[in-house]
Amino acid sequence: MKKVKSLVLAGLLAFAPALALNGQVLAQDNAVAAAPAADNAAAPAESAANAAAPAAEAAPVAKVAAPPRMKPTEGIGMPRPGEVTLQEQFSPTGHTARWLHDVLLLPLITIISIFVLALMLYVMVRYRRSANPVPSKTSHNTLIEVVWTVLPVVILLVVAVPSIGLLADQYKPAPKDALTVKVTGYQWYWGYEYPDNAIPEYVSNLLPEDKAKANGEPYLLAPDNRLVLPAGRPVKLIITGADVIHAFAVPSLWLKMDAVPGRLNEKSVFIEKPGVYYGQCSELCGARHGFMPIAIEALPPEQFDQWVLSQGGSLKGATKTAQAAPAAAAVVADKKI
C-alpha cells in the first residue's frame, strides 16, 4: 500500500511542472487575447499621430494639417521577392557596409572557397592510390609554409582596415544639432517620443492585413503609426525597452540597436532620401515578437516641420530651447547612470 502511495506521489511530482506550465501558457494566451482589445481602446487617441486627417479639432493649438501618409515604393525600404543580398541602402553607413560586403568580403570568400575546393579536388585525383602508389616523404617546404602564413595575414589586414572604420562609423555619436527621438520597445508594439519638439509618446501597432492591403503596404512590416523623421538631417535615436529586450532594426538604413530595459542606447541616423523604410523587432521578445513592425517615414525637412506642427509640437526644439533643454539634460543624466 505504501508503495502505491509513493508511486502516486512520484507521478504527481513528475507531472507537476507540466501542469503548472500549462496554466502559465493559458494565462499568457489570455493576455495576448486581451492585448488587441487594449490596443484598440488606445487607438483613437493615438491614431491622430500620423493620420492624414488634421488633428485640429482635438488640439486647438495645431492648425496645420499633417502631410498625407507617404506611399511606399515597391522594393525600396523593404525586401524584394527572391532577394538574397542586403537591401538597397539609404544612409552613408549603409553604403560603406554594402561596399564592404559586395566589393570586398563576398568576392574574397568566393575566391578562397573556390581555391580550396579546387585544391582538394586536385589532390584527391592526382594523389589517389592508383595514380601515386609510392607517396612522397617530404615533410617541409619553406616557401609554401611562408606563403600560407603571410598570405592569410595580409588578407586579414586588408579586411580589418575597412571593417574597423565601419565599426567606428556605426557608433559615431550624432552631432549636437541632431533631432532627438526616443524609441521604446513594449510587448508588443513601439512607442515614439520627440522631446526636442515637445511631442509626447505615441504608439505604433501592427496594421491589420486588410488595412495593409488596402493601403498598398506590406503586411507584417506596416504599422498603423509610423516613426516620422526628417530626411537629410541628422537624427539621434535614444532606444530603450519597457519590459523585455527588443531590438529596433531597419535594414535599408543599416540601423539596428537593442532596446534594453533600464538602459538608454544611442544610435545616430542620417536618412539620405525621403521614403518609407520598413523594419521589425529583431530580438525574440515574446509571443507577438513577429507582430511589432517598424516603419520610418522620412519626410523632406519642410514637410517634417509641418508634421511636427500638426502634432502640436514646437519647432524650436531642433535648435535647443529652454523647453527642450531640461528634457535633453534628463536624457544625458540618465545615460550617465
Binding mask 227-266 for Cu ion (x = CB under 5 A): -------------------x--------------------
Pick the stretch among 56-64, 94-102, 195-203, 285-293 that binds Cu ion (CB under 5 A): 285-293
CB neighbours of residue 80 within 10 Å: 12
Q: Do the bridges between strand 189-194 and strand 179-186 make them parallel or antiparallel, or are there none, so unpaired?
A: antiparallel
Give the residue with the Cβ less far from Cu ion, 247 or 299: 247
Buried b (16+ CB within 10 A) or exposed e, 134-146: eeeeeeeeeeeee
User: Nearest distance from residue 187's CB to Cu ion, in Å?
Assistant: 7
CA pair distance 189, 184, nearest whole angstrom: 9
Query: Which three cell numbers, joined as nine digits, stand for 190?
Result: 513601439
| HEC string for 222-239 | CECCCEEEECCCEEEEEE
The per-residue DSSP string of 145-180 comes to HHHHHHHHHHHHHHHHHHHHHHHHHHTPPPPTTPEE
User: Nearest distance from residue 231's CB to Cu ion, in Å?
Assistant: 26
Give the residue with the Cβ less far from Cu ion, 199 or 239: 239
Give the residue with the Cβ less far from Cu ion, 188 or 304: 188
Which amino acid, one-letter code, is at 43?
A
Q: Which of 48, 249, 281, 299 binds Cu ion (CB under 5 A)?
A: 281
Give the residue with the Cβ less far from Cu ion, 200 or 290: 290
User: Nearest distance from residue 245's CB to Cu ion, in Å?
Assistant: 8
Residues 41-60 that bind Cu ion (CB under 5 A): none
Number of residues that bind Cu ion (CB under 5 A): 3
- Does the footprint of Cu ion cover residue 203 (CB under 5 A)? no
User: Nearest distance from residue 244's CB to Cu ion, in Å?
Assistant: 7
- Does the footprint of Cu ion cover residue 206 (CB under 5 A)? no
- Does the footprint of Cu ion cover residue 285 (CB under 5 A)? yes
Nearest to 254 by CA among 240, 242, 244, 269: 269
Span between the terminal Cα atoms of the chain, in Å: 63
